[in-house]
Amino acid sequence: MRNTIVAGNWKMNKSYSETVGFIQKLTEFLDSCNLTGVIPVICPPYVYLRDCINLSRKSKLIIAAQDVSSRVSGAYTGEVCAGMLSSIEVPYSLIGHSERREYHQETDEVIREKLIRLMDNGLIPVVCIGEKEEEREQGITSEVILKQLTTIFRDIELSDPYKIIIAYEPVWAIGTGKTATPEMAQEVHLLIRKWLIDNYATPFADNVSILYGGSIKPDNFEHLLDQPDIDGGLIGGASLRFDDYRDLLQIALKRKIPDKNSDT
Ligand code: PGA
- Per-residue pLDDT tens digits of the chain, which is 264 residues long: 899 999 999 999 999 999 999 999 999 999 999 999 999 999 999 999 999 999 999 999 999 999 999 999 999 999 999 999 999 999 999 999 999 999 999 999 999 999 999 999 999 999 999 999 999 999 999 999 999 999 999 999 999 999 999 999 999 998 888 888 999 999 999 999 999 999 999 999 999 999 999 999 999 999 999 999 999 999 999 999 999 999 999 999 998 655 555 444
How confident is the model at residue 257, as a pLDDT? 56
Residue 111: partners with Cβ closer than 8 Å, 6 or more residues away = 70, 95, 96, 127, 152
The end-to-end CA distance of the chain, in Å, is 12
Q: What is the pLDDT of residue 260?
A: 55
159: helix, strand or coil? coil
Distance of CA 236 from the midpoint of ligand 1 (Å): 4
Q: Which of 92, 219, 234, 248 to mutate to test the pocket of ligand 1 (most atoms within 8 A of CB)?
A: 234
Residue 104 is among the residues annotated as catalytic for this protein: no
Q: Which amino acid is at 258?
A: P
Count of all residues that appear for the chain in the document: 264
- Decide whether any atom of ligand 1 lies within 6 Å of the 220 Cβ: no
Rounded Cα–Cα distance for residues 190 and 262 (Å): 15
Q: What ranges in the chain are assigned the alpha helix state H?
A: 16-31, 49-55, 82-87, 98-103, 108-120, 133-137, 141-152, 182-199, 202-207, 218-226, 242-255
Would you call 157 a catalytic residue per the annotation? no
The pLDDT, as a whole number, for residue 255 is 80
- Which residue in the list 106, 131, 169, 189 is annotated as catalytic? 169
Q: Can you tell me whether residue 181 is helix, strand or coil? A: coil
Max intra-chain CA distance, the chain: 50
3-state class (DSSP) for residue 124: strand
Q: Which residues contact 39 (CB under 8 A, 6 or more apart)?
A: 3, 4, 5, 6, 60, 62, 232
The pTM score is: 0.95
State the pLDDT at residue 263. Answer: 44
